[in-house]
Copies of this chain bind each other. A is one copy, B any other.
Amino acid sequence: MAARHEEIAEALRRAIDREDYTVGSLLPPETELAARYGVSRGTVRQAVATLTAEGLIGSRQGARRVVLAGRRSQSFAELRSFAQWARAMGREATGRVITQEWRTATAEDRVRLQLDQGARVLHVLRLRGLDGRPVLLERTVYADWISPAVEHIETDCPSVTQRLLDDTGLVFAYGEHVIDAVAAGARDAELLAVRRTSPLLRVRRVTTTREGRPVEWSDDRYRPDAVSFSVHNSIGNNALARKTAE
């Protein structure tokens, strides 16, 4: 937290959290904020742009900014790591590898992970829990170049992301997530302790490095009674998109 505009964004977030600015009320004009924090208007604009992207405030040319929502989970690394997300909530994440095996990359693997013909990939089936209760079943395929580092992680490591960062310096920087619903199969039902055919929230995702290189892709199935996803969208910010089948 060095950049001045980040400090100001954080100060405003806290002020909204503290209800100095209540939902529906108006934020002070940019010029006033600039004077208050002793920065130029451009820096203030950078700060409020962050909050707008987060969905905390709304913005219209000519009118003062409006506070749209209060206390929002400050999702930083939230989506990139189950364990970090759990810790941020004060809950304990567990993880257990059910099966792990090397396979030759299929055509789908090669496309998603940008691999050459014949590359060997690591398939991992991992069950994850929150405060001891099973919540998520991950079927992950790791690219050939990272698989050796994944292979020797203990089977009950709670945070693979953290472990890979410590061991190899790898940062998960970008992710593309496709969300839908599926009926629990026999294996899903057994491991997640739900009835077969019971609805599960499925997230298929690809994670890449900061350089844009795909690291892994995964089919994650959540118990919908334990976890849901929340998305904010507005005219300017639209990370979420509806998609039709294929």
> Interface of A with B (CB < 8 Å)?
23-24, 53-55, 58, 60, 63, 66-69, 72-73, 75-76, 78-79, 85, 89, 91, 114, 130, 173-183, 197-202, 208, 210-213, 224-235, 237-245
Contact in complex: B66, A212 (CB < 8 Å): yes
Complex Cα distance A210/B212, Å?
A: 35
Number of copies: 2
In the complex, A211→B245 CA distance in Å?
35
Complex-state Cα separation, A208 to B68, whole angstroms:
9
B residues near A177, Cβ cutoff 8 Å: 230-233, 240
A46 to chain B, nearest CB (A): 10
Which of B53, B75, B242 is close to A53, meaning CB atoms less than 8 Å apart?
Answer: B53
> A241 to B239, alpha carbons, bound, how many Å?
12
* B235-A230 in contact (CB<8A): no
Contact B211 A226 (CB under 8 A): no
Q: List 10 A-B contacts (CB under 8 A).
A: A58-B173, A58-B211, A60-B211, A68-B208, A173-B234, A174-B235, A176-B231, A228-B242, A228-B243, A231-B231
User: Could you tell me the distance between the alpha carbons of A182 and B54 in the complex, rounded to whole angstroms?
Assistant: 27
